[in-house]
Structure 1
Amino acid sequence: MCGIAHAVDVHGGPPTDRVDTARRYLEAFLGGLRTTPPNAKP
């Protein structure tokens, strides 16, 4: 979480875009923790 916050501070763009940037970074991070791909068939 600290790494995402720092990345958003450094590369987040203008303050109005930082929430969207943080959400994109967090989504990418959480997607990497999945045990199965989101499009895998059960």
Structure 2
Amino acid sequence: MTREAWAEWDIPAQTWVLSAVFDFAFCHQCCRQTVLVVRETDAP
């Protein structure tokens, strides 16, 4: 799965920083757009 997002270069940190994440998601197994569902877990 991949998700559409924007990243910006942080000059002082010299690294990429995620600045926005969008709703669009893509499944590479079935080659279609998909919907991601957030699920609660008991994991720490």
Counting strand residues as a fraction of each chain, which structure ranks higher? 2
Which entry has the higher C-alpha Rg, 1 or 2? 2
What's the TM-score bracket when you normalise by the shorter of the two chains? under 0.3
Normalising by the residue count of structure 2, what TM-score does the alignment of the two structures yield?
A: 0.23
Report the structure, 1 or 2, having the larger helix content: 1
TM-score after normalising by structure 1 = 0.23
